[in-house]
Amino acid sequence: MSKYQARLRENLLTKFSNKILLLGLLSCTSLTHAQLSLSPTGRDKEIFGYSFVEKQSFSSTKSYLYESIDDVIRVKLIQSKSDDKADSYIKDKLAIFKSIFEAKRVDYPGQHSKVIECPAEYVPQFSEKLVKGGKLSYFIGFANKNQVTGICASDLLYYKHFYGFLYCKETSVVYEIEDFSSLKSGNLDVIIGAISCGG
């Protein structure tokens, strides 16, 4: 066996044993948010009362990740130059997301199908609410096991999906928030309640 093959084998075994150790911990104990977060940058940040891990970023946008057994939350912090630019950015992103679920003409209409659309019970519902220090605009819908939104069939539902934006005028920061909560957990309402500019 060459030195390269030996190092490769050792790296694979180390990674594999770390995963086994983590799985063993998950099955034997109840872990907190911070214990489940594996940090590529080694920096944690408290956001909305949850311990997030900073992700590698190649732009001025800061990205954070929180993972637990029942939830995956992604947050991006975007510095805005003005209130108007922040409002425009949020409206554009929400319009793009909404357009995914609008009825679309089919390329080759048949006798019974002139449009393709998601049944009403699977179309994300839009809401807005004032929170401490800002306004939260968001959609709540569904996602599949691979965290892909746009699910329009009951047998593919795996997560309750939250996609929203919070603009904090005092700091001129836009929070782009995406949460995937297990359908069984009921954590989504708690997470939405925790979102504010103060946290």
pTM of the model: 0.72
Residues 18 and 97 in one domain: no
Query: For 158-180, how does the pLDDT look when each residue is reduced to its tens digit (9 = 90+)?
Result: 999 999 999 999 999 999 999 99
How far is it, in rounded angstroms, from Cα 112 to Cα 110? 6
Confirm whether 55 is domain-assigned. Answer: yes
Residues 41 and 9 in one domain: no
pLDDT value for 10: 54
pLDDT value for 52: 87
pLDDT value for 37: 32
State the CATH number of the domain containing residue 117: 3.40.1000
Confirm whether 52 is domain-assigned. Answer: yes
Confirm whether 7 is domain-assigned. Answer: yes
- Provide the number of structural domains found in the chain: 2
Q: Pairing mode, if any, of strands 115-116 and 173-182?
A: unpaired
- Concatenated DSSP letters for the chain? --HHHHHHHHHHHHHHHHHHHHHHHHHHS---HHHHPPPSS--EEEETTEEEEEPP-SSS-EEEEEE-SSEEEEEEEEE-S-HHHHHHHHHHHHHHHHHTTS-EE-SS--SS-SEE---GGGSPEEEEEEETTEEEEEEEEEE-TTS-B---SGGG--EEEEEEEEEETTTTEEEEEEEEEETTT--HHHHHHH--TT-
Confirm whether 14 is domain-assigned. Answer: yes
pLDDT value for 199: 59
pLDDT value for 46: 80
Residues 14 and 82 in one domain: no
Domain limits at 55? 32-194
Confirm whether 70 is domain-assigned. Answer: yes
Confirm whether 199 is domain-assigned. Answer: no
| Local confidence pLDDT in tens for the 199 residues of the chain | 454 454 444 554 444 344 333 333 333 333 233 333 333 445 687 888 788 888 877 677 888 999 988 899 999 999 999 999 999 999 999 999 998 888 888 777 676 777 778 888 999 999 999 998 889 999 999 999 999 988 888 899 999 999 999 999 999 999 999 999 998 887 888 899 899 987 5
Residues 52 and 18 in one domain: no
Query: For 54-84, how does the pLDDT look when each residue is reduced to its tens digit (9 = 90+)?
Result: 887 767 788 899 998 889 999 999 999 999 9
Confirm whether 142 is domain-assigned. Answer: yes
Residues 112 and 149 in one domain: yes
